Amino acid sequence: MIERRDDELSRIYRDAEGPRPAQRVDDNILAASQRVAGARGRPAGIRFARRWGTPVALAATVLVTFTLALMVFERQSGLEATAPEARRTDRQAKVLPAEPRADQPGTPSPLVLRPIAPALPISQALQRDPVEQGPGGRTVSRGDLGTGQTSSVPEVPRAADVLRKREEAKPAPAAAAPAASGERAGATQQAPVPDAQRAFDVQPPIRPAQAPASAPAPGANTLRESASTLQGAGAVGALTSSVAVPDAKERTPEKWLADIRKLKTEGKAIEAERDLVEFKKRYPDYILPEDLR
Amino acid sequence: MMREASDEELMLRYGKGDAAAFEALYRRHRLPLYRFLLRQVGNKDTAEELFQDLWMRVVNSRGRYEVRAKFTSWVYAIAHNRLMDFYRANGRASFLSHEESESVLEDLPAVEIAADLRLDRKRAVERLLAALGELPDAQREAFLLQQESELSVEEIAAATGVGPETAKSRLRYAVAKLRASLGKKS
């Protein structure tokens, strides 16, 4: 059904002045339409980024954090795997020193030397090598020296400290020396000596490698001090190989005194006297037998 | 020469984010829709409010728009619904209950426009617009829809939610009354 328009009426109606909406209404409508179309008509990439940006960023953060944590964990595990022996030795080093002390109070504790050096009962050490009596009347086993010397290298700074302490403490032991001199048993009853001090005392009396065992070189003490200084400077390893090993065969005080007596009996009084002076220098606290005083 | 895009194409393009398509659509239907609303409510401010609201509904419907009918039918249906809301809010319920019958329509006298008004176009426009304002809302709406949107009677019926016969009778009533206001009885 089609209703024909009234053309005459239509013409009159179209002659009417056409009202228009205000400009602001046009602007509002067009602005709104563009705003909405702009939000909807963004490129796919931008829409994708807006939609997935936050989740992807969160996922990336979690991934990076997890990876870093894993790396740190693996690194720590790697360290554990590469240095288990060192750690174990370290742990033993912390535990072992207490044992000999419990058995034999006053026995020098070899400190860090103990874990690496073969464990040697102190009695054996004493039997194998005579006891050297230090200025403070402390007993020192030289059995530990030859084998343990190399292991003392990491503790060199501590030895240097000990040297300093010893230098400071030098006058004091001189007074206390007579009470303890020459008596092994008495020496073991001395008050506990700090580990560092013991570590220094462990240092062997150093003599020139070529020096004859029977006749101690006059410069032996000087050499020993030099060795101590070098040891403090970290040169112990070098010395151990060349000096410390022959030194292990050094004469004992008793042997030395026997040699002096022998010289006297042979009529070499001057040499015997010189040797005795040297002995006194070397062992100032040693109580000499009646015949040699 | 490029073919001018249809209203439906423009609306679909706008639905995909083409703001220019909406602007073309707006320019095309802006004045007829505004005149339709203004002559229905008789107040510029109210007409602008309804007009803006109508277009915002178009904007907000962009994603749901489907080509089921002419864009013009769709947009004038929106305008009609908006008018109904306005009438309800302002107590103009007579619009809703006003129904014409074919029998009444047949009784209307045929009117010829006066010869002097055919010469004096300005005065004829004034009298036409005055008579248009006095028409019942439904009849005026039918006449305006026919004049502004160029919809057929069926499309007017669809846009206003009435049967085709009702739309036709409203239209004939409106025309008869307008002609009567402009001339002499034939």
**Coil vs helix vs strand at A25:** helix
CB within 8 Å of chain B, chain A residues 35-54: 36-38, 40-42
Q: What mean pLDDT comes out for the span B10-38?
A: 88
| pLDDT confidence of residue A117 | 46
* Contact (Cβ atoms closer than 8 angstroms) between residue A205 and residue A239: no
A37 contact residues in B (CB cutoff 8 A): 14, 17-19, 22, 62
Instruction: Nearest chain A residue to B55 by CA: give it.
Output: A29
Return the H-helix or E-strand segment holding B184.
strand B183-185
Contact: A21, B51; criterion CB under 8 Å: yes
Among residues A211, A206, A277, A212, which one has the least CA distance to residue A239? A206
Task: Report the residue of chain B nearest A18, measured CA to CA.
Answer: B35
- From the CB of residue B37, how many other CB atoms can be counted at a distance below 10 Å? 26
R_g (Cα) of chain A, nearest Å: 46
Question: With 50 as the cut, is the pLDDT of residue B127 above it?
Answer: yes
Tell me the shortest Cα–Cα distance from A5 to chain B, in angstroms.
Answer: 8
Interface test with B, best of A1, A2, A3 (most B CBs within 10 A): A3
A26–B contact, CB cutoff 8 A: yes
| pLDDT given at position A65 | 93
Nearest to B121 among A3, A15, A19 (CB): A15
**pLDDT per residue rounded down to tens, chain A (293 residues):** 445 667 778 888 887 777 888 888 888 888 888 887 766 555 556 666 767 888 889 999 999 999 999 999 988 887 776 665 555 555 555 544 444 444 444 444 444 444 444 444 554 544 544 444 444 444 444 444 444 444 444 444 454 555 565 556 555 444 444 444 444 444 444 444 444 444 444 444 444 444 444 444 444 454 455 444 445 444 444 444 444 444 445 778 888 889 988 998 888 889 988 988 998 888 888 888 888 87
Please tell me the distance in Å from B93's CA to the nearest CA on chain A.
Answer: 27
Query: For A37, which of B18, B164, B178 is closest by C-beta distance?
Result: B18
Count of A-B CB contacts under 8 Å? 103
**Contact flag B179-A9 (C-beta cutoff 8 Å):** yes
Distance separating alpha carbons of residues A184 and A127, to the nearest angstrom = 12
Residue type, A209: A
The per-residue pLDDT for B60 is 87
User: Which residues in chain A have their CB less than 8 angstroms from residue B44's CB?
Assistant: 19
Instruction: Return residues 13-32 of B near A (CB < 8 Å).
Output: 14, 16-19, 22-23, 26, 30-31
For residue A288 the two structure tokens come to 């000499």
Which of B12, B14, B155 to probe the A interface (max A CBs under 10 A)? B14
Q: Which residues is A223 bridged to in the sheet? A: none
Q: What is the structure's pLDDT at A190?
A: 47
Asked if the model's pLDDT at residue B183 lies above 70, the reply is yes
The DSSP bridge pattern shows strands B183-185 and B111-113 to be antiparallel
Query: Does A16 sit within 8 Å of B125, measured CB to CB?
Result: yes
**Residue-wise pLDDT tens digits, B147-175:** 888 888 888 998 888 898 888 889 888 88
Percent of chain B with pLDDT over 90: 8
Q: Residue B87 half-sphere exposure, CB side, CA atoms within 13 Å?
A: 19
Q: Does pLDDT of B103 surpass 50?
A: no
Q: Is the pLDDT of residue B120 over 80?
A: no
Nearest chain A residue to B170 by CA distance is A3
DSSP secondary-structure letter at A233? Answer: T
Q: What is the pLDDT of residues B49-95, one digit of tens each?
A: 999 999 999 888 888 888 888 888 889 999 999 988 888 888 765 55
Q: Give contacts of A2 with chain B, Cβ < 8 Å.
A: 152-153
- Least Cα distance to A138 among A180, A87, A76 occurs for A180
> Given CA atoms B53, B57, B58, B62 in this order, what sign does their dihedral have?
positive
In chain A, residues with a C-beta closer than 8 Å to the C-beta of B147 are: 5, 10, 13-14
Q: Which residues does chain B have within 8 Å of residue A17's beta carbon, measured at their own beta carbons?
A: 125
User: ipTM of this predicted complex?
Assistant: 0.80
- Report the pLDDT value the prediction gives residue A72, as an integer from 0 to 100: 92
